[in-house]
Amino acid sequence: MAIRRICVFCGSNPGGDPAYRAAARALGEELVRRRIGLVTGAGGTGLMGEVIDAVLRGGGEAIGVIPHALVLRELAHAGLAELRVVSSMHERKAMMAELSDGFVALPGGLGTFEELFEIITWAQLGLHGKPCGVINVRGYYDRMLDALDHAVAEGFLKPLHRGLVLVGHDAQGLLAQFERHVPAPVQKWITPEEA
């Protein structure tokens, strides 16, 4: 499947390490270099603003999806040519998923974690076969990845489903994995003997 657009989940804050902002800029630049459009939450602050700015500086496509309530708080990125305003966070995530051919998480907080795990869960359920991954800037996602490995060891997550989370240390490495991505076959996640 050709990758035309990537959805990026990331912090609306910049984080405490300049490496996070640099990674967001590098991702935006790599998307432009590969002629891949950006779909994101439309915020003008933090890492979200950085990746949008990098795409716009390079002349790339950037689509922002934002709930009306956040537009009213003036949080939408002012430079977006295409801003889709929706009624709720649920509608936002559904539209972002529909517009995208893959999903990347940069460092972020609760919203980033929630968006990432929901889209991976949709892949586990067979609702999509699009690649999902994290850019593990300076080991930011190490503990999350350890927790997923622990879930496998404890019998709560099948190795096949653990493999749904691709990991790259930079944009180039992760997007190269996306290009080689083959959707995992949907398998029942609970066998009759486990029920």
Q: What is the pLDDT of residues 177-189, one digit of tens each?
A: 999 999 877 766 5
Higher pLDDT, 171 or 191: 171
The 3-state DSSP class for residue 149 equals helix
Evaluate whether residue 188 is within a structural domain.
no
Evaluate whether residue 193 is within a structural domain.
no
Evaluate whether residue 78 is within a structural domain.
yes
Evaluate whether residue 140 is within a structural domain.
yes
Q: What's the whole-number mean pLDDT along residues 23-49?
A: 96
Instruction: Decide: 71 and 46 in contact? Cβ < 8 Å.
Output: no
Higher pLDDT, 194 or 53: 53
Integer Rg of the chain from CA:
16
Per residue in 69-106, pLDDT (tens digit) is 888 776 889 899 899 999 999 999 999 999 999 999 99
Evaluate whether residue 69 is within a structural domain.
yes
Evaluate whether residue 191 is within a structural domain.
no
Q: What's the whole-number mean pLDDT along residues 26-46?
A: 96
Q: Identify the domain containing residue 98 by its residue range.
A: 5-178
CATH code of the domain covering residue 65: 3.40.50.450
Using alpha carbons, list the distances in angstroms from residue 59 to 20, 77, 78, 174: 22, 16, 16, 22
Residue 191, pLDDT > 70, answer no
Q: What angle do CA 59, 60, 65 make, to 5 degrees?
A: 125
Confidence of residue 53 (pLDDT cuts 50, 70, 90): very high
Residues 6+ apart with CB under 8 A from 90: none
Evaluate whether residue 185 is within a structural domain.
no
Show the tokens assigned to 116. 């990432």
Dihedral sign of CA atoms 62, 66, 68, 71 in order = negative
pLDDT of 167 reads: 98
pLDDT of 188 reads: 61
CA dist., res. 17 & res. 85, Å (int): 31
pLDDT of 183 reads: 87
Per residue in 147-176, pLDDT (tens digit) is 999 999 999 999 999 999 999 999 999 999
φ, ψ (nearest 5 deg) of residue 38: -105, 135
Domains in the chain: how many in total?
1
pLDDT of 2 reads: 87
pLDDT of 97 reads: 97
Residue 60, pLDDT > 70, answer yes
Evaluate whether residue 110 is within a structural domain.
yes
pLDDT of 63 reads: 97
Matching residue, tokens 């539209």: 95
Q: Where are the alpha helices (DSSP H) in 1-44?
A: 18-33
CA dist., res. 108 & res. 46, Å (int): 9
